[in-house]
Amino acid sequence: MKKDKPNFIRYEPYVMEVAPRNYAWCSCGLSAKQPFCDGSHGAVGMSPKTVQITEKKTVAFCGCKATATPPFCDGTHKKFNK
């Protein structure tokens, strides 16, 4: 099964404090460990978006999976009806 669009997950970002390291953001919306990848994308031919965080900080990972700035929220979720 191949997909070209991710599953919509939620109408808000995942705002969290993160430590310095690499993160793999789920781009397909199938991961049980949102907003991070758990390998579920293998069945649909999509890949996670990796990002290196270099300092401890608060970030907003996209929850709707439609951001133009993956893996971070750009407010696109506000365009969808709840």
Q: Where are the domains of the chain?
A: 14-79
3-class DSSP state of 76 = helix
Beta-strand runs (E) in the chain: 14-18, 21-25, 49-53, 57-61
State residue 2's pLDDT score: 47
pLDDT per residue as tens digits for the range 11-54: 899 999 999 999 999 999 999 999 999 999 887 888 999 999 99
Q: What's the whole-model pTM score? A: 0.88
- Tokens read off for 13: 């970002």
Q: pLDDT confidence of 1, banded at 50, 70, 90? A: very low
- Model confidence at 64, pLDDT cuts 50, 70, 90, reads very high
